[in-house]
Amino acid sequence: MKPRIYSHLSEQHKDRPQAINITISILCPLYNEEEMVPVFLRRLVDLLEEIHKSFEVICINDGSTDKTLTALLVAKKEYPQLRIINLSRNFGKEAALSAGLDSSRGEVVIPIDADLQDPPELIKEMIEHWEAGYDVVLAKRVDRCTDSFLKRNTALLFYKIHNSISSTAIPENVGDYRLMSRKVVNTIKAMPENQRFMKGLFAWVGFKTAEVEYTRAARKSGKSKFNGWRLWNLALDGITSFSTLPIRIWLYLGIIISTLSLSYGFFIIFRTLILGVDVPGYASLLTSILFLGGIQLVGIGLIGEYIGRIYMESKARPLYIVEGEY
């Protein structure tokens, strides 16, 4: 099968027949989740069949190195509503979500993880809110005791920092698990940017929004693929995607330091004229040089982060490559 490279919606759907009468599209990015595939699909499909609406389950295999694809192919024999999108390599969760959004055909789209920390049973309540006129229904975690103390508090810190410097506020304790109507999905798909922070994009589009609350469960099997380094990079992507204030801060900091330095310079001149020249202190001089040098390097690094994002966008590479669909 010839791989297809997708970067825009129009290109992706040129050769794909459109299905009709799909009400619910479930999106599930997967990376090395072979143990969870049968457990997750059984619980999810049983729940969806109780809703009595047409549905499809789109599983995006994001370059798994275990037998996740094999497990999905076995499951497809049991669940005809299952669609499998196999990416050519690991592109990351943001790209996998984009692949799922591009392929979805339902009137509503619901991303969910396969670890079952986010209960599929909330889908019933989400559908009720959608039928009441809401375009977005957020699943908000009111209890994250199953997460580590460090993860809970660093997440809280990220939300506070991001929402204080960005014009687009991200709801606290809300992940990718949510319901989006078709017009919301089409709006997100129309965005051409390559470096994507999906939580920010979901929040940026707006629309009439409701919330449902739940207690986050423990992972049923396996372990999270997001370590501290990946979470740090994700947070950095989120801040630099929706705010230029970090760069502006260094402008203000430069003005403050320059003003203080100029004031100190005048003080030295005045003291020298009155008291004469004293012996300079090497310790204070070295401290000043190291401090200003560190400030400059941090500022340059921050500017480089933004320039790097511009560089990656200018390449206009596709978000993902589909090796095959099953």
Using pLDDT thresholds of 50, 70 and 90, give the confidence band for residue 175.
confident
Closest of 130, 57, 67, 136 to residue 100, by C-alpha: 57
- pLDDT above 50 (res 298): yes
Cα dihedral 43, 46, 47, 48 sign: positive
The helix (H) or strand (E) run that includes residue 120 is none
Instruction: Render 28-78 in DSSP notation, one character per residue.
Output: EEESS-TTHHHHHHHHHHHHHHHHTS-EEEEEEE-S-SSSHHHHHHHHHHH
Percentage of the residues of the chain whose pLDDT score is greater than 90: 5
- 179 beta partners: 137
Name the phi and psi angles at 261, rounded to 5: -65, -40
- Token reading at 10: 């129009």
HEC string of 185-207 equals HHHHHCCCCCCCCHHHHHHHCCC
Residue 13 identity:
H
- pLDDT above 60 (res 236): yes
- Token reading at 134: 């809401």
**Among the ranges given (94-98, 160-164, 224-228, 243-247), the one the predictor scored with the smallest mean pLDDT:** 224-228
Using pLDDT thresholds of 50, 70 and 90, give the confidence band for residue 189.
confident
C-alpha–C-alpha distance, residues 119 and 112, integer Å: 9
Where is pLDDT greater, at 176 or 227?
176
Give the number of other Cβ atoms within 10 Å of residue 75's Cβ: 19
Supply the DSSP symbol for 83.
Answer: E
What is the predicted pLDDT for the residue at 61? 92
Name the phi and psi angles at 169, rounded to 5: -80, 135
Using pLDDT thresholds of 50, 70 and 90, give the confidence band for residue 60.
very high
Q: Would you give the distance in Å from CA 74 to the centre of its chain?
A: 30
Using pLDDT thresholds of 50, 70 and 90, give the confidence band for residue 272.
low
Supply the DSSP symbol for 154.
Answer: H
Using pLDDT thresholds of 50, 70 and 90, give the confidence band for residue 139.
confident
Domain spanning 4-228+318-325: which CATH class is it, in words? alpha beta
Where is pLDDT greater, at 85 or 273?
85
- 324 beta partners: 86
Start-end ranges of CATH 3.90.550.10 in the chain? Answer: 4-228+318-325
Mean pLDDT of 135-146: 78
- Max distance between CA atoms of the chain, in angstroms, equals 92
Q: First CA to last CA across the chain, in angstroms?
A: 11
Mean pLDDT of 158-180: 73
C-alpha–C-alpha distance, residues 108 and 113, integer Å: 17
Where is pLDDT greater, at 106 or 164?
106
Using pLDDT thresholds of 50, 70 and 90, give the confidence band for residue 2.
very low
Taken as a whole, the chain contains a residue count of 326
Using pLDDT thresholds of 50, 70 and 90, give the confidence band for residue 12.
very low
Angle made by CA atoms 141, 97, 1, in degrees to the nearest 5: 150
Contact 118, 220 (CB under 8 A): no
